[in-house]
Amino acid sequence: MSPASYVFLAVVLFAIGGVGVLIRRNMIVIFMCVELMLNACNLAFVAFARMHGNLDGQVVAFFVMVVAAAEVVVGLAILMAIYRARKSASVDDANLLKY
Amino acid sequence: MTTLAATGVFRASWLLLAFPVFGAAVLLLGGRRTNRWGHLLGVAMSLASFVYGVIAFFALLGYHGSREVDLHMYSWIPVAGFQVNLGLLLDPLSLCFVLLITGVGSLIIIYSVGYMAHDTDRRRFFGYLNLFIAAMLLLVLSDNYLGLYAGWEGVGLASYLLIGFWQFKPTAAVAAKKAFIANRVGDAGLSLAIMLMFAEFGTVNFTGVFGSVKSGGSGVGLALGLLLLLGACGKSAQVPLQSWLLDAMEGPTPVSALIHAATMVTAGVYLMVRSNPILAQSADARMAVAIVGAVTLLFGAIIACGKDDIKKSLAGSTMSQIGYMMLGAGLGPAGYAFAIAHLLAHGFFKAGLFLGAGSVMHGMDNEVDMRRYGGLRRFLPITFVTFTLAYLAIIGIPPFSGFFTKDPIIDAAWESGGTSGWLLGGAAIIGAGVTAFYMTRMMLMTYFGPRRWEENGVLGGAGAQPASTEPHVPHPHESPGVMTWPMIILAIGSVGAGGFLIVNYRLADFLAPVVGPVPVIHGLWTWPGIIALVLVVLAGGLAWTMYGRVPVPAVAPRGSVFTRAARADLYGDAFNESVLMRPGQWLTRLSVFFDSRGVDGLVNTIAATIGGSSGRLRRIQTGFVRSYALSMLIGAVLLVAGLLVVRL
- In the predicted structure, residue B375 carries a pLDDT above the cut 50: yes
Which string of DSSP letters, residue by residue, matches B243-265? Answer: HHHHHGGGS-HHHHHIIIIISGG
Task: Give residue B2's pLDDT band: very low, low, confident or very high (50, 70, 90).
Answer: low
Helix (H, G, I), strand (E, B) or coil at B82: strand
- For residue A26, the chain B residue with the least C-alpha distance is B626
Give B8-29 pLDDT, tens digit per residue.
Answer: 778 888 899 999 999 999 999 9
Q: What is the arithmetic mean of pLDDT over B335-350? A: 93
User: By the CB < 8 Å criterion, does A28 face chain B?
Assistant: no
Helix axes B418-447, B381-395, angle to 10 degrees: 170
Rounded Cα distance between B159 and B173, Å, is 12
pTM score, whole prediction: 0.81
Model pLDDT for residues B378-414, shown as the tens digit of each residue: 999 999 999 999 999 999 998 899 999 999 999 899 8
- C-beta atoms of B625 and A94 within 8 A: yes
Confidence of residue B626 (pLDDT cuts 50, 70, 90): confident
Any CB–CB contact under 8 A between A85 and chain B? no
Residue-level pLDDT at B235: 94
Residues of chain B found within 8 Å of residue A18, distances taken between Cβ atoms: 633
A93: closest chain B residue by CA: B624
| pLDDT tens-digit map of B515-530 | 888 887 777 788 888 9
Out of B623, B630, B633, name the one closest to residue A98 (CB). Answer: B623
A22 vs B619, B623, B626: nearest CB: B626
B626 touches chain A (CB under 8 A): yes
Contact B621 A94 (CB under 8 A): no
- pLDDT at residue B1 tops 50: no
Per-residue pLDDT, B353: 95
Is B142 strand, coil or helix?
strand
Which pLDDT score is estimated for B464? Answer: 66
Q: Give the chain A residue whose CA is nearest to the CA of B618.
A: A99
Do A99 and B618 make contact, defined as CB atoms within 8 angstroms? yes
pLDDT computed for residue B172 by the predictor: 92
Q: What is the pLDDT of residues B487-510, one digit of tens each?
A: 999 999 999 898 888 888 888 888
The pLDDT of residue B465 is 67
Q: What angle do CA B26, B28, B32 make, to 5 degrees?
A: 90
Chain B nearest CA to A54, separation (Å): 25
Which residue in B622, B626, B633 is closest to A98 by CB distance? Answer: B622
| B-chain residues near A99 (CB < 8 A) | 618-623
Cβ distance A98 to B621 less than 8 Å, yes or no, reads: yes
**What contacts B150, CB < 8 A, 6 or more positions away?**
B138, B142
What is the tens place of the pLDDT at every residue in B226-272?
Answer: 999 999 999 999 988 998 999 999 999 999 999 988 899 999 999 99
Is residue B281 within 8 A of residue B223, CB to CB? The reply is: no
pLDDT in tens, B414-453: 888 788 889 999 999 999 999 999 999 999 999 998 888 8
Angle between helices B267-274 and B506-515 (to 10 degrees): 60
Q: Give B624 to chain A, closest Cα distance, Å.
A: 5
Binary contact (A99, B621; C-beta < 8 A): yes
Q: What percent of chain A has pLDDT over 70?
A: 99
| B225, pLDDT greater than 60 | yes
Instruction: Select from A22, A30, A96 the residue whose CB has the most chain B CBs within 10 Å, as the one to mutate to test that interface.
Output: A22
**Contact at 8 Å (CB) between B432 and B406?**
yes
Average pLDDT rounded to a whole number, residues B304-320: 93
User: For chains A and B, what is the number of CB pairs under 8 angstroms?
Assistant: 31
Percentage of chain B modeled with pLDDT above 90: 58
Query: From the centroid of its chain, how far is CA B141?
Result: 18
Say yes or no for a CB contact (<8 Å) between A22 and B629.
yes
Question: Is the distance from CB of B313 to CB of B304 less than 8 angstroms?
Answer: yes
pLDDT at residue A29, rounded to an integer:
93
B32/B350: higher pLDDT: B350
Instruction: Flag if B624 and A23 touch (Cβ within 8 Å).
Output: no
Paired with B77 in beta bridges are B84
Q: Report, as an integer, the average pLDDT of B557-561.
A: 83
pLDDT, mean over chain B: 90
Residue pLDDT, tens place only, B159-207: 999 999 998 989 999 999 999 999 999 999 999 999 999 998 888 989 8
* Contact predicate B412/B304, CB 8 Å: no
Residue to mutate among A14, A16, A19, A21, with most B CBs inside 10 A, is A21
* Contact list, B626 vs chain A (CB under 8 Å): 21-23, 25, 91-92
| Range in B111-125, B330-344, B445-459, B574-588 with the lowest mean pLDDT | B445-459
Q: How far is B593 from chain A (nearest CA, A)?
A: 38
Which residues of chain B lie closer than 8 angstroms to A23, CB-CB? 626
pLDDT bin (cut points 50, 70, 90) of residue B466 is low
Q: Contacts of residue B629 in chain A, CB cutoff 8 Å?
A: 21-22
C-alpha–C-alpha distance, residues B641 and B496, integer Å: 110
Whole-angstrom CA distances from B138 to B154, B409, B493 are 9, 28, 25
Does residue A29 belong to the interface with chain B, where contact is any CB pair within 8 Å? no
Say whether residue B614 is in contact with chain A using an 8 A CB cutoff.
no
Looking at residue B594, its pLDDT comes to 93
Distance CA(B554)–CA(B149), nearest Å, equals: 46
pLDDT band at B454 (very low <50, low <70, confident <90, very high): confident
Answer for the pair B497, B346: CB distance below 8 angstroms, yes or no: no
CA dihedral B146, B148, B149, B150 (to 10 degrees): 90
Name the β-bridge partners of B82.
Answer: B79
* A15 and B CB contact within 8 Å: no
Q: Are B74 and B86 in contact (CB under 8 A)?
A: yes
Cβ A22–B630 below 8 Å, yes or no? yes
Query: How far apart (Å, rounded) are the C-alpha atoms in residues B251 and B10?
Result: 36
Is A92 an 8 Å CB contact of chain B? Answer: yes
- R_g (Cα) of chain B, nearest Å: 31
- Burial of residue B607 (number of CB atoms within 10 Å: 0-12, 13-18, 19+): exposed
Residues of A in contact with B619 (CB under 8 A): 99
Distance from CA of B648 to the nearest CA of A (A): 22
Which among A91, A98, A99 is the nearest to B626, CB-wise?
Answer: A91
pLDDT confidence tier of residue B462, bands split at 50, 70 and 90 = low
Using the Cβ of A23 and the Cβ atoms of chain B, whether some distance falls under 8 Å is answered with: yes
> Is B25 buried (19+), middle (13-18) or exposed (0-12) by CB count in 10 A?
middle
